[in-house]
Amino acid sequence: MTLRPLVLLLSLSGMLAAAETPTPPVLATETFGDQVTAGKPQSIVEGQEVSTGASVGRLNFVSPTAGFILLGANSSVHLKRISEKDGTSLVIAIDAGRIEVSLDKRKPYKDVHVLGGTLDVRVTGTLFVVERLPHDHDYVALIHGKVSVTLRSDVATAVEAGARDNVELDSREGVGGGPGGLSANTDTLGSRPQLTVLSSVQSQGNGHDAGSWDQDSALDSIDNGGAGTQFGQDISDNIGNNIANSIATGISNQITGEVVNQTLGGNNAPNFGPPPGPP
């Protein structure tokens, strides 16, 4: 007779505990990516990790915030909110890879931040790319607008006195940073970095392609339903170039070796083989 009230009490306790546990708020919707099936957008709640495989992905902010996040291949992010006395901030934390952020309206948040391994990028309304690199290094490339780049608070307290710890970026500028502080110099970008290109964001920005500023290969790929096309093409091009270079080097070494051997004494001369390859 005593078991039934006990079971009922435990059931009520479980229901109350479940009711008291708040459901994480939806901060974005994934409209293109590995988790989207049959074209149905997926709700992304606070703290939920979003990852991509070989293709790119897209997250749209939930209204009234206006804008989106593009994820490069093999990238991972999660979103969270931080409440303070003067309002709530939205944080986009990069766990791996690279992202592009386009922000048209940040309300109801007082700030939107992107956190890398070391850097904290405060966004007001702009378009930029952030790449998280090995050993907690990051690189920020601003396409247009304005952003404030500082060190994460847990990093800023550990850097040496006098290290550069903040910079304001204007359109077509970039800066890197790591555990030792921000880079001493701000880069002037000659090309727009693309998420679908294999080379690093910084090396792309150091290029000289004036026509690239109106291009967004990741966004075009998503719009065309062919995410990863350019990424795969880059891989194929690199493999083809490597094979061609290897063949050319092998032929050159063989010819050079034969010339050296004949010069040293013809067929009776010792064969030293081809010269060593480049270091």
Domain span at residue 251 reads 228-279
What is the 3-class SS of the chain, one letter each residue? Answer: CCHHHHHHHHHHHHHHHHHHCCCCCEEEEEEECCCCECCECEEEECCCEEECCCCCEEEEECCCCEEEEEECCCCEEEEEEEEECCEEEEEEEEEECEEEEEEEECCCCCEEEEECCCEEEEECCCEEEEEEEHHHEEEEEEEECEEEEEECHHHHCCCCCCCCCEEEEECCEEEEEECCEECCCCEECCCCCCCCCCCCHHHHHCCCCHHHHHCCHHHHHHHCCCCCHHHHHHHHHHHHHHHHHHHHHHHHHHHHHHHHHHHHHHHHCCCCCCCCCCC
Does a structural domain hold residue 4? no
Indicate the range of 10-24, 28-42, 94-108, 113-127 predicted with least confidence: 10-24
Question: Which residue is it, tokens 């030792």?
Answer: 180
What does residue 3 show for φ and ψ, rounded to 5 degrees? -75, -40
Q: What's residue 157's pLDDT?
A: 82
CATH label of the domain that carries residue 118: 2.60.120.1440
Indicate the range of 2-6, 145-149, 185-189, 230-234 predicted with least confidence: 230-234
Does a structural domain hold residue 8? no
The answer on pLDDT for 237 being more than 50 is: no
To the nearest 10°, report the CA torsion of 177, 116, 151, 112: 130
Do 129 and 259 have their domain in common?
Answer: no
Contact predicate 196/218, CB 8 Å: yes
φ/ψ bin of 97: left (φ > 0), alpha (ψ from -120 to 50), beta (otherwise): left
Average pLDDT (173-194) is 96
Does a structural domain hold residue 9? no
Total domains, the chain = 2
Do 122 and 208 have their domain in common?
Answer: yes
The answer on pLDDT for 277 being more than 50 is: no
Does a structural domain hold residue 36? yes
| Residue 160 confidence class, pLDDT cut points 50, 70, 90 | confident
Q: What's residue 11's pLDDT?
A: 61
Examine the fold and report which residue of 223, 241, 271 is the final residue of a domain before the chain moves on.
223
Do 168 and 47 have their domain in common?
Answer: yes
Cα–Cα distance list, 269 to 213, 252, 256, 257, 264 (Å): 59, 20, 15, 12, 6
Average pLDDT (99-108) is 95
The answer on pLDDT for 71 being more than 60 is: yes
Average pLDDT (233-250) is 43
Q: What's residue 226's pLDDT?
A: 58
Does a structural domain hold residue 61? yes
Do 117 and 213 have their domain in common?
Answer: yes
Indicate the range of 13-17, 195-199, 214-218 predicted with least confidence: 13-17
Contact predicate 77/52, CB 8 Å: no
Do 104 and 87 have their domain in common?
Answer: yes
| pLDDT tens readout for residues 24-52 | 999 999 999 877 777 789 999 999 999 99
